[in-house]
Copies of this chain bind each other. A is one copy, B any other.
């Protein structure tokens, strides 16, 4: 397959159910993390870190926490939405061979981070730019990425033994996949449909 940027953007999916459990070579993983690390960052602060989690005991503990959070969310849904949600798998924590916890350290590049004095969240934004680079690079390498966001930050901070100042931003499942779906899971399962671009574009003012 082509690694033309637009083609990669089109192929990229949030993967939950298609992980094979296969391993990633160090060379490929280096390219994927290198892409993340090449992202832009406010004041060149590079405030991200990547914790590579392979240990099954750790992944099992996180998985159980996610299951509890899934139940918490499910309890807020009415009948129709609850039935649709039941069909949607929300993580591949145990099936993928590797998880990558991406974090944000606001103290990086301090004390005066160029471009962050007026917008406290600008460093947080940088971490997300790195995640998207990682996601696209993984797609180019025919790997799947699944972003799990059914967790409490405090739980993950404890599990990873992170300093209080550092904030977990994402738990990403990463690994070889049988295939990438053409249509996002949430759309396939009738949760929501994608809107056309024109709905999101404004001219001169809101």
Contacts and interface: CB of A to CB of B under 8 A. Distances in A.
A31 interface: yes
A161 interface: yes
Interface residues of A, number: 92
B9 A133 contact: yes
Given A77-B112, A137-B6, A202 B52 contact: yes
A55 B122 CA distance: 26
Interface in A60-80: 69, 72-73, 76-77
A73 B114 contact: yes
A204 B52 contact: yes
Contacts of A197: 30, 33-34, 37
A88 B115 CA distance: 12
A174 interface: no
A135 to B, nearest CB: 7
Contact of A10 (B38, B43, B72, B125): B38
